[in-house]
Amino acid sequence: MTLFDKIKEITELQAGSGFEAPVRNYLKEKMLKLGYTPEFDGLGSIFVVKESKTPNAPRVMIAAHMDEVGFMVSSIKPDGTFRVVTLGGWNPLVVSAQRFTLFTQKGNKIPVVTGGLPPHLLRGTGATPSIPAISDIIFDAGFTDKAEAENYGIAIGDVIIPETETILTANGKNVMSKAWDNRYGCLMVLELLEFLQDKELPVTLIIGANVQEEVGLRGAKVSTTKFNPDLFFAVDCSPASDTFGDDNGKLGAGVTMRYYDPGHIMLPGMKQFLIETAKENNIKTQAYMAKGGTDAGAAHLSNEGIPSTTIGVCARYIHSHQTISSLDDFVQAQNFIRAIATSLNAEKVADIKNY
């Protein structure tokens, strides 16, 4: 499969916070085919432990997250439409007039659209269109009334996930898809596991993906407790702002060196290690000052404190149906995470932890 084929396959999967099974099952199948034995924690995160033969080897966790942003049904109206609560962060401006899939509790898939108010209905009213609250946006599956919706198995608590087709841009350099946050990370950890299949390393690697990152970095708190790593590397996607007149996060500019976000500051030892490793391996990087967080924000506060960072890329218009991401950024990040995984040893881990 080409890189694009792999991206298409994994981004078109639909799995939101608390409903990660489609991606978890996909990862499990791939891990088993590679000869690994996946392990799970109590919330459903999935990891492979690649044990080092070196005595007292440091433990290093490399973690994506499986969930994409979505919604949950909070009410069913008499006319058969739904209202929702968010699972993750949404800008109301990108929600209306889009396709979704509703997953019933029995696993049935129901096509849904979000209703956009036609301009015809505004004529003569004197009303000015305004930004709706998420709770007011209409989710419509075309049912006649509430009874028909319930007859099809719709219930409060059902999950609604964006549905789109993943395609290449005309120049072949970029991908248009949903959920690059964070199917980027999920594909990255699978590719890393394949790369490391026959390699013996002086560190024990714990590689996989967490649940429920989009609703408060919840999975990382549990998985770091279970696996007790010395270092933690989140593998995650952040918003590019280049088309909004900001140079903080540019598509195609390489791996994001996430020095700061509201929940995490990169420690000096980690910063030095990343800069040196990128330089030694000719990795294209860009400084990044984030306004949101990743699982590194939860991991670094776990146990007795775990030095953490994010090996990331940025993409345009994330947390929407149509994200634009760079194929070259993925390759740069892939080369970086390979270099990190194969260069770490007890001495370097000690240096990183020497704050």
Residue 179 CB coordination number (10 Å): 31
* Burial of residue 183, with CB atoms counted within 10 A of its CB: 0-12 exposed, 13-18 middle, 19 or more buried: buried
Contacts of residue 193, defined as CB under 8 A and 6 or more positions apart, other chains included, come to: 30, 31, 34, 36, 48, 50, 207
Identity of the residue numbered 312: G
Cα dihedral angle (218, 223, 225, 228), rounded to 10 degrees?
Answer: -140
85: left (phi over 0), alpha (psi -120 to 50) or beta: beta
The CA-based angle 131-137-139, given to 5 degrees, is 150
Both structure tokens of 226:
């279970």
Give the whole-angstrom CA distance, residue 114 versus residue 126.
24
Question: For the residues of 77-103, what is the DSSP string, one character each?
Answer: -TTS-EEEEEES---GGGTSS-EEEEE
User: Rg of the chain over CA atoms, in angstroms?
Assistant: 21
The residues carrying an active-site annotation are: 213
